[in-house]
C-alpha cells in the first residue's frame, strides 16, 4: 500500500471516529434544547404550568444532567477517537484514552507550575487556562481529547501483544497498553505547551477566512458538501465547531473556543433574553439551519423531481425508494442516500447543489437567522426554531420555499435534458427489490459478499453513518450490477482497492450481517 493511500485512509478513519461523540451529543442536545426552552421566562409566561415547582425543578435537573455531557466534550472525543482509530482491542484503547487524557492535563499543569506560567484563578480565562477534571491546565478543549485518543489507539495497536520477561509477565499484552500510554502521554504533555501557541495561531489564521461574513458563510457549507464523497466532511465540521478555527468568544468574562461551546452556553444557559443572543447568527450559520435547508427543502425537491422524471412504467416501483430516501433526510438528518443517487452520474448537478447550499447559508445569515444546533431534522426545527424566541425561524421558509421550486425545475430539466440515470429511468423493465425496506440484512450481506468476489477477496469491513467501507484484494472481481441487487443507492471507489457502498441509516445492521457472513 502506497504512503499516500495509507494516509488518505487514515484521514477517513479519523473522520469517522469523530462521529461517535457527535452521535451522543445530538439526542442529548435535543433534551437540553427542550428543557432549556421550557425554563425560559418568556416560555413560562406563555405556559404558566411550567412555573410549578415540581415541573420547573424537573426541567432544570434534566438540563443540568444533559449539560454534563457537554461539559466533558474533550473526554468524549478521547474515547471516540481511540475507539475509531484503533484496529485491535478497542476496549483497551478506550480505557487507555481516559487515562491518557488525565495524564495529559496533569502533565501540562506540572509544566505550567515549573515554568511559572500557572495563572491565578481570576486570570485563567485571559491566559488560555481552565479547570479540567479538577486540574488547572491549558484550554486544549476537544483537541486535547483527540490527542489522547490518538495516543491510546497507537499504543493499543502497537503493544497489545507485547511480551515481557517472566518477572514482569503480569504486565504483558493488553495490560501493558495503558501503562505505555502514560509514558507516551508524559512526553507529549511536556511538548504540547511549546507548539500549542503555533498551532492555535495556524487555526486562527484559517478562521480569518471562515469567519468572514460572506466568504466564510459560503465556503463552509459549500466545502462541507464537496468533502462528502471523500468522507472528510466530519473533520471539516469538527474544526469549526471545536477548535480555534471556529473563533474564540468571550461571554460574561468566560472564553469559549470554537462555535459549539459558545452556542451551547448561549442556547442552554443564557437564553434569548440575554445580550449574548446577538451572537447567535454568527454561530448558527455553521450549524443546524444549513442542514435544515438541505433536509427539509432541497432533498424533498430532488426526490419529487426524480419521481416525476421517472418513466411512467417504473414510478410505482421507485415511489417507495425515493420516499424512503426523502424521509431518511427529513426525519433522520441523513442526506447521502439521495445525494449519492446523482453525485457520480451527474457531478455538475452535485456542484450546483453545493453552490446553492452556500448561497442559502449566506442568505440565512444576512437575514439574521438564529436556529441553532447540530442536526437538520423536522424535530430539530420544531425545538430549536419554533420553541425558542427570536430565532427568526421563518427565514428558513423565506429561503427554503424558493429553493424548493428552483431545485424541482432545475433537477427535472437536467434529468430529462441529459437523460441522467436517476432511479426509475432505466429502459428495461426492472423489478425493484425491497430488501432494505423489509430489513433482510442477511440477504443483503450475502449479495454484497458475493458481488465483491467472495470472502477471500475482502480484507477489511468498516462503516460510517451511511456507507459500508470495504478493502479488497482485487477490484477486478467486483460485480457492480450484482451489488445493485442489494438495494444500495450508490457505489464508488475512493481508491484502487477500497469501495464505498451506500445504504443510508441501515448500514450498521448490514455491516453486522456482513461480518457474520464472513465468519461463516
* Cα dist from 109 to 106, 120, 164, 490, whole Å: 5, 13, 32, 50
**151, 210, 436, 464: which one is catalytic?**
464
**Residue 341, CB half-sphere, CA atoms under 13 Å: how many?**
27
> 38-73 as b/e, with b when 16 or more CB fall inside 10 Å?
bbbeebbeeeeebeeeeeeeebeebbeebbebbebb
212 DSSP 8-state letter? S
- Per the structure block, which three cell numbers stand in for 416? 430529462
Q: Is 464 a catalytic residue?
A: yes
Q: What are phi and psi of 227, to 5 degrees?
A: -80, -15
The pairing of beta strand 135-138 with beta strand 129-132: antiparallel
Q: What are phi and psi of 470, to 5 degrees?
A: -125, 130
CA gap 349, 352 in Å, rounded: 5
The pairing of beta strand 254-257 with beta strand 467-472: unpaired
List CB contacts of 515: < 8 A, sequence separation 6 or more.
Answer: 461
Cβ atoms of residues 130 and 137 within 8 Å: yes
Q: Return the residue matching grid coordinates 480505557.
A: 95
* Cα dist from 419 to 191, 299, 303, 427, whole Å: 58, 20, 16, 11
List CB contacts of 183: < 8 A, sequence separation 6 or more.
Answer: none
Cβ atoms of residues 434 and 324 within 8 Å: no
CA gap 157, 161 in Å, rounded: 9
Which amino acids are annotated catalytic? 464
Amino acid at each position: 500500500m502506497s504512503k499516500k493511500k495509507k494516509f488518505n485512509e487514515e484521514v477517513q478513519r479519523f473522520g469517522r471516529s469523530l462521529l461517535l461523540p457527535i452521535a451522543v451529543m445530538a439526542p442529548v442536545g435535543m433534551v437540553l434544547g427542550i428543557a432549556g426552552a421550557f425554563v425560559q421566562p418568556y416560555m413560562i409566561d406563555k405556559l404558566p404550568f411550567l412555573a410549578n415547582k415540581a415541573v420547573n425543578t424537573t426541567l432544570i435537573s434534566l438540563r443540568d444532567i444533559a449539560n454534563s455531557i457537554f461539559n466533558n466534550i474533550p473526554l468524549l472525543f478521547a474515547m471516540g477517537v481511540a475507539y475509531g482509530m484503533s484496529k485491535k482491542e478497542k476496549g483497551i484503547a478506550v480505557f487507555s484514552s481516559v487515562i491518557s487524557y488525565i495524564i495529559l492535563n496533569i502533565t501540562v499543569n506540572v509544566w505550567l507550575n515549573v515554568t511559572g506560567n500557572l495563572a491565578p484563578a481570576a486570570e485563567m480565562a485571559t491566559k488560555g487556562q481552565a479547570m479540567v477534571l479538577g486540574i488547572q491546565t491549558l484550554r486544549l478543549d476537544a483537541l486535547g481529547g483527540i490527542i489522547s485518543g490518538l495516543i491510546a489507539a497507537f499504543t493499543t495497536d502497537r503493544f497489545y501483544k507485547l511480551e515481557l520477561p517472566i518477572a514482569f509477565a503480569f504486565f504483558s499484552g493488553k495490560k501493558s497498553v495503558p501503562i505505555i500510554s502514560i509514558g507516551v502521554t508524559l512526553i507529549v504533555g511536556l511538548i504540547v505547551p511549546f507548539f500549542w501557541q503555533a498551532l492555535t495561531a495556524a487555526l486562527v489564521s484559517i478562521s480569518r477566512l471562515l469567519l468572514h461574513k460572506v466568504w466564510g458563510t459560503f465556503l463552509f457549507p459549500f466545502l462541507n458538501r464537496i468533502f462528502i464523497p471523500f468522507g472528510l466532511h466530519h473533520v471539516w465540521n469538527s474544526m469549526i465547531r471545536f477548535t480555534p478555527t471556529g473563533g474564540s468568544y468571550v461571554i460574561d468574562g468566560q472564553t469559549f473556543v470554537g462555535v459549539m461551546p459558545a452556542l451551547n452556553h448561549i442556547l442552554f444557559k443564557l437564553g434569548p433574553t440575554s445580550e449574548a443572543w446577538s451572537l447567535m447568527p454568527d454561530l448558527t450559520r455553521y450549524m443546524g439551519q444549513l442542514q435544515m435547508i438541505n433536509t427539509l427543502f432541497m432533498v424533498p425537491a430532488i426526490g419529487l423531481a426524480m419521481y416525476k422524471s421517472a418513466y411512467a412504467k417504473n414510478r410505482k416501483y421507485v415511489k417507495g425508494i425515493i420516499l424512503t430516501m426523502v424521509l431518511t433526510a427529513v426525519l433522520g438528518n441523513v442526506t447521502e442516500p439521495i445525494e449519492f443517487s446523482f453525485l457520480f452520474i451527474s457531478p455538475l448537478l452535485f456542484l450546483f447543489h453545493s453552490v446553492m447550499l452556500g448561497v442559502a447559508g449566506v442568505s440565512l445569515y444576512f437575514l439574521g437567522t438564529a436556529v441553532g444546533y447540530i442536526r437538520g431534522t423536522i424535530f430539530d426545527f420544531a425545538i430549536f426554531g419554533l420553541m425558542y424566541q427570536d430565532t427568526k425561524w421563518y427565514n428558513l421558509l423565506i429561503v427554503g420555499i424558493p429553493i424548493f421550486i428552483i431545485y424541482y425545475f432545475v433537477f427535472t430539466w437536467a434529468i430529462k435534458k441529459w437523460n441522467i440515470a436517476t432511479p426509475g429511468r432505466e429502459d428495461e423493465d426492472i423489478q425493484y427489490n425491497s430488501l432494505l425496506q423489509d430489513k433482510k440484512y442477511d440477504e443483503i450481506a450475502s449479495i454484497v459478499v458475493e458481488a465483491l468476489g467472495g470472502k477471500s477477496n475482502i480484507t477489511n469491513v468498516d462503516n460510517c453513518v451511511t456507507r459500508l467501507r470495504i478493502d479488497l484484494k482485487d477490484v477486478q472481481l467486483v460485480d457492480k450490477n450484482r451489488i445493485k441487487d442489494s438495494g444500495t443507492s450508490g457505489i464508488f471507489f475512493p481508491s484502487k482497492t477500497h469501495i464505498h457502498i451506500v445504504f443510508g441509516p441501515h448500514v450498521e445492521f448490514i455491516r453486522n450481517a456482513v461480518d457474520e457472513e464472513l465468519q461463516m
